[in-house]
Structure 1
Amino acid sequence: MNYDQKLASLRARKLRQTREKIEREGVLDEDDYGRIVPPEGLWKIRPNHPDGSFYGFDAWTDNFCSLMAVHPVYVDPDDAFAGRWMYFMSKMRPNKWNPAYPYDHLKADIARYDIICGIGDDAHFAPDYRMGLELGWGGLLEKIAACRKLNPSPGQQHFYDLHERAVRSVQGWIGRHIAEAERLAAEEPDAGRRDNLLAMAQVNRNILNRPPETLREACQWIVWYHLASRTYNRDGAGAQIDALLRPYYERDKALGLTDDEAVYYLACLLINDPVYWQLGGPDETGRDQTSRISFLVLEAAGKIDTSLNITVRVHDGLDPELFRAAVACLIRYKNGWPRFSGDKALVEGFMRNGFSAELARSRIAVGCNWMSLPGLEYTMNDLVKVNMAKVFEVAYDELLASDAEPSTGALWRGFERHLGRAVHTAAEGIRHHLKYQKYNEPELLLNLLSHGPLERGRDVSDGGAEYYNLAIDGAGLAVVADSFAALEQRVEREGRLTWEEVTRHLRENFEGEGGVAVRKLLQTAPRYGQEDSPGESWALRVRDAFVAAVRRETEPGRVFIPGFFSWANTVGFGLSVGATPNGRKAATPISHGANPVPGFALDDASLSLATCIARIQPGYGNTAPMQWEIDPSLARQDNAELIGAILRTHFRMGGTLVNVNVMDRETVLAAHENPEKYPELVVRVTGFTAYFSMLSPRFRQLVVDRILEN
């Protein structure tokens, strides 16, 4: 088999494995992941608490090491790399927070404002893969031994004991794959596959203790680390993959490596798990990082064309050929990859926190909406969200229940006050998490590739990180802005409705007499997304209030950074909110991230979208992504320059991240009705891509509505 045939075989096998996950485990409204279904009954968690869950360093280490000892091996003779992950340890626990550290004092406001507080949630920050490649597993053990001598307290010694156990358990897992590859090679009749299996065994033998030296060894090392980290607590953060692998590629190239072979290795890395990898963008000095391997990563992605999370970072110095190649991939494959981040606003925004330009340029896109300094910061990106639509509802109900004369001015004062309280509650949740997370879910794997935890003998959540730049995202921006605008326009300016009439129709969910007409009137008020409209003015006002509330929480050693992102929580957030004055019905999804409500545009939708989201950016280095749905009639190669121009214009105006879908409406509708007939259809749900067939009906509907209404 040639490389293309091998990759076709791997792609077909991934589709079968995805179908098996759906049949055995049901739908998953998250990233696709590279996880496959494990054998039944092989391993179960080992609780250390009466609630059936496990907490703390010892229990996590015991569970992880016991799993590594029995975790099934996975060796495919067509793959360049051994290994797949099967168990989702953090999701196998019946309870995610240690009840010994309650946060009852926060629960009332968490419920009142429908806050996703992040307490006890899995890691959302990035390891430094470069450190791992430079040290290897043996080097990490040596580092543990060296740091152990510097921190002699009994607690720190125990800390090092547990991390050493974790590393050795991973080495044992690798060793069993070496044996399996050699066993399969002895039985393999095909000479090509036999040679590949023997080479796979040798690659893994080489990296069992020493650092990788070749491109294949480096990719295999990365695979093992992210498989172990995924198994532990689903860490999926990636790296600047072209810069990370460039030295190995160039060294091997000088020794005879062909680009076809390199593409095969890269494709096998990408299909192993859709980790978030970045291409292009500046290094810390501002120099573009594009190289030959950047293009090979895109070529490899095209060979497998599966669920992928590749980001191209756009800056003034970006190689224009890489940008054109990335846009061409978006148009050609129509599977939601790559996406694009904007360097100018991200760097300038992060510097407003007091950081240098060099450090700001090192903060890369490695998650759904989030940036991170690899190995340097603890962030809680995409874990903490304030449902601003719920905050609006609380303020509205309070105003109407009071004796005060209702007005948008009075409503705004109540909204701003409740928004501040909601943000403070979210920040207090973060503080509680940081205080006790080491007793709940310590970062055994991510500590290894972070700067500080081993050196200090402290978990990365507990003072081990260099920086604590903590994210709080606002959700429902457009619902709130359009609701204020509709009340201002239809009630206060035009007098076509009264506060009492609006309230009655909200309580009736627009289903009583005259409800349809009133709803239409509210929906057609000037909205966020329409330039110089009341909706845009209110959106900017909400933005400023949210940013100010988040920034007020900053304290010595902890920077709180605002963003606008709802992830896929638009559905869940919507369930808690009744009908709203923008014409949205009760329990329906809230607006997506920083996007206007679909159907907002009076002129060109794409340009209006790019303009309004660029203006609404929170401005401190976290993103407010633009979710862009492109019809295939526009997504043609002869329109590549236009698509590229819109992307670049958005970033010049201050945009930070663009997630793109190229979706045919008829195909999406047909797949929504019969998802099993479209097993290869990939959509960008939000910051992540997924097989459409793996999404639940309500999440498929979310994607359908977004596409149909734009």
Structure 2
Amino acid sequence: MNTNTKTGISYEKRYKKLRDTKIRHTLGKVEKNGYMDGDDYSTYPKPDWYHFEPIYQENEDFIMGAMGNAINYKAFLEYQPLYVDRLEILAGRWCDMLPFYRQQVRGYDKYYPYDGLKPLQEKYNINSGIGADSHCACDFNIGIELGFGGFLDKIHIARLTISKDDEYAHEMLDAEEMVVHAIQDFISRHIDKAKGMLSEESDPAVRNTLKDMIDANTAIVENRPETFLEACQWISWFNILSRMYDRDGAGCNIDVILYPFYERDRKLGILDEEKTKFILANLLLTDTRYFQLSGCDEDDNDLTNHLSYLILDAAHELNISVNLTIRVHDNIDPQFLKKAVYYL
């Protein structure tokens, strides 16, 4: 990993340009939609040509079930525009999500009717949430430990443990495998786009980070992340992909999860603090995930580490809306808490 950015555009100038792009995207979304009533996600305005058509099963006008969701998510990823910003070090962004097309409430009306509940729902003006998308709290450690190739290995092993007559289980595994392959293809197409941009790039600093982007994404298509950049890119992809699937917004204790990768790369001399902050800022930019910092372990020991501080610095440098939460406890590092209150 090349950390030399002494020639070419500086990180400071990149922060400003990335913030300007974020503001332009937000204003563009307001102009297209006429209003914004919800979170300002890290999305970009849909292109004028964009018009996704969901694939409904025969005699149905909704998406439901493992295979129905897998087929549509695969088609959804294949239709999505590719997003690579030459000034970033992480690939990817999103502009739309599948929940807008599922119409699952129609499926519940057909297969799992709840007519007995509807009179009281209407009387008290209750939005039940039945058939709605959800914020799933996923365990990021599983994905980081396995990687996308590891997911496929688990699926293949699971096939050996179930009866050949269990059609439901096999359909579920087929759907999962289809989704993982669709994700790998989606990432691979971003790699190709980044390679094309690299071939036309003249700025030395930008060339360095484009090369890093390509290397990191090439590594994690099949393998679990090994470096700090690879771990951040993996988390970024999961954020983007899960947002598109079900508007999932739950994050993780990002400083604790990433710290072993940071410590390893620092000891190997392949990562400096300025580049660390830039990667972290890019991670915060790609999705407004609900990340947590600090906290305590089961014995009330403080979990604040040096990366906790750097994440605050990255958010400060980027200077946009981010969803960082400080887990306050009796033994929290007082200097960290003071800095968090000052920044956030």
| 1:267 counterpart letter in structure 2 | A
| 2:132 counterpart letter in structure 1 | D
Structure 2 counterpart of 1:89: 98
* Contact 2:152/2:177 (8 A) holds in 1: yes
**Residues 22, 51 of structure 1: alpha-carbon distance in 2 compared, 3 angstrom cutoff:** farther
Structure 2 counterpart of 1:195: 208
Decide which of 327, 332, 339 is 1:313's aligned counterpart: 327
In structure 2, what is the Cα distance between the partners aligned to 1:55 and 1:115? 23
Structure 1 counterpart of 2:159: 148
Deviations 1:335-354 (A, max 9, x none): xxxxxxxxxxxxxxxxxxxx
Deviations 1:143-177 (A, max 9, x none): 11112211222211111111011001000000001
TM-score (norm 2): 0.92
In structure 2, what is the Cα distance between the partners aligned to 1:160 and 1:131? 18
SS in structure 1 of the partner of residue 135 of structure 2: coil
In structure 2, what is the Cα distance between the partners aligned to 1:48 and 1:275? 33
Deviation at 1:124, TM superposition (A): 2.3
Identity, in percent, stands at: 38
SS in structure 1 of the partner of residue 126 of structure 2: coil
**Residues 23, 217 of structure 1: alpha-carbon distance in 2 compared, 3 angstrom cutoff:** same
Decide which of 243, 262, 265 is 1:252's aligned counterpart: 265
In structure 2, what is the Cα distance between the partners aligned to 1:230 and 1:216? 21
In structure 2, what is the Cα distance between the partners aligned to 1:265 and 1:304? 11
* Contact 2:294/2:327 (8 A) holds in 1: yes
Residue 62 of structure 1 pairs with residue 71 of structure 2: yes
Decide which of 110, 120, 142 is 2:131's aligned counterpart: 120
Structure 2 counterpart of 1:3: 11
Residue 205 of structure 1 pairs with residue 214 of structure 2: no
* Contact 2:304/2:332 (8 A) holds in 1: yes
Structure 2 counterpart of 1:132: 143
* Contact 1:139/1:211 (8 A) holds in 2: yes
Larger radius of gyration: 1
Structure 2 counterpart of 1:53: 62
* Contact 2:67/2:171 (8 A) holds in 1: no
Structure 1 counterpart of 2:288: 274
Over the aligned positions, Cα root-mean-square deviation in angstroms equals 1.5
| 2:79 counterpart letter in structure 1 | V
| 1:191 counterpart letter in structure 2 | P
SS in structure 1 of the partner of residue 116 of structure 2: helix
In structure 2, what is the Cα distance between the partners aligned to 1:7 and 1:140? 35
Residue 77 of structure 1 pairs with residue 90 of structure 2: no
Structure 1 residue runs without a partner (length 5+): 331-710
Greater helix share, 1 or 2?
Answer: 2
Aligned residues: 330
SS in structure 2 of the partner of residue 103 of structure 1: coil
In structure 2, what is the Cα distance between the partners aligned to 1:289 and 1:85? 32
Structure 2 residue runs without a partner (length 5+): 1-8
* Contact 1:7/1:78 (8 A) holds in 2: no
1:14-413, aligned counterparts within 5 Å?
A: 14-39=22-47, 40-48=49-57, 50=59, 52-94=61-103, 96-98=105-107, 99-100=109-110, 101-152=112-163, 153-256=166-269, 257-330=271-344
Deviations 1:373-421 (A, max 9, x none): xxxxxxxxxxxxxxxxxxxxxxxxxxxxxxxxxxxxxxxxxxxxxxxxx
* Contact 1:51/1:95 (8 A) holds in 2: no
SS in structure 2 of the partner of residue 110 of structure 1: helix
Deviations 1:202-245 (A, max 9, x none): 11001111110111100100111111111111111100011010
| 1:141 counterpart letter in structure 2 | L
In structure 1, what is the Cα distance between the partners aligned to 2:80 and 2:290? 25
* Contact 1:90/1:96 (8 A) holds in 2: no
Structure 2 counterpart of 1:643: none
1:550-561, aligned counterparts within 5 Å?
A: none
Q: Compare relative contact order (CA 8 Å, sep 6+) and give the higher one, 1 or 2.
A: 2
